[in-house]
Amino acid sequence: MAYRNKTYVAFASEDLHYYRLMAAWRDNEKIDFDFLDAHDINTALDTSQPETIRRRLRERLANTKQAVVLISDTTRPKAARSSSFLYYEIEVIERLSLPVVFANLNGSRLVQSAKLPSTLASMHSISVSFQPKIIQYALDEYVAAFKDNLTARDPKTTPHHYKAHVYENLGL
């Protein structure tokens, strides 16, 4: 099995500009935000056949240790459509039991259950606002806690969010 060290960012195609903003945060030396992007490997072109794209997505996710899912009003309905690539990404994330950080594009710091993909809505996850500091914090802190939770005597099985003091400590 390949060494998993990447972060997979899943999003509805309508939210592509938010993914690009995350890449810009990563590339800006004045912003403390970094992730090894799973989208950098096995590029699939828009002209590729759907099965080729699904195979590339599977390969990317096989090298993933964590996932960020961008949450907007279009996420849940798009993730419910079996013809969408987001549906497939969410299905593989769930099958691989990857730790998931939900980044709320509307800035909410709470779990927005009605907007989460239904497949992932009841799993242990963390919801944060769409800001580089809190997303980075979640990637650094939550993912390790997720792994520990898998072997806990009484594991958590529901989505949660950080309390206000975590944001305050990060200057948010």
Range 74-78 contact pairs with CB under 8 angstroms and sequence separation of 24 or more = 74/12, 74/14, 74/15, 75/11, 75/12, 75/15, 75/115, 75/116, 75/117, 76/114, 76/115, 76/116, 76/117, 76/118, 78/12, 78/13, 78/14
Q: What is the pLDDT of residues 37-53, one digit of tens each?
A: 555 544 555 556 778 77
Percentage of the chain surpassing pLDDT 90? Answer: 52
Residue 101 pairs in a beta bridge with 68, 126
The two beta strands, 6-10 and 100-104, are unpaired
CB atoms within 10 A of CB 29: 5
Percentage of the chain surpassing pLDDT 70? Answer: 89
Q: What is the pLDDT of residues 106-141, one digit of tens each?
A: 999 999 999 999 999 888 899 999 999 999 999 999
Compute the mean pLDDT over every residue in the chain, rounded to the nearest whole number: 86
Question: Strand, helix or coil at 172?
Answer: coil
Q: What is the mean pLDDT of residues 75-87?
A: 93
**Dist. CA 4–CA 86, nearest whole Å:** 21
User: Is the model's pLDDT at 94 over the cut of 60?
Assistant: yes
The model carries a pTM of 0.87
pLDDT at 124: 87
Specify the residue for token string 């594009």.
105
> Which range, of 1-5, 8-12, 108-112, 115-119, averages the lowest pLDDT?
1-5
pLDDT at 1: 41
E-strand stretches of 35-99: 64-71
Q: What is the mean pLDDT of residues 90-107?
A: 94
* Domains parsed from the chain with CATH numbers: 6-169 (3.40.50.11200)
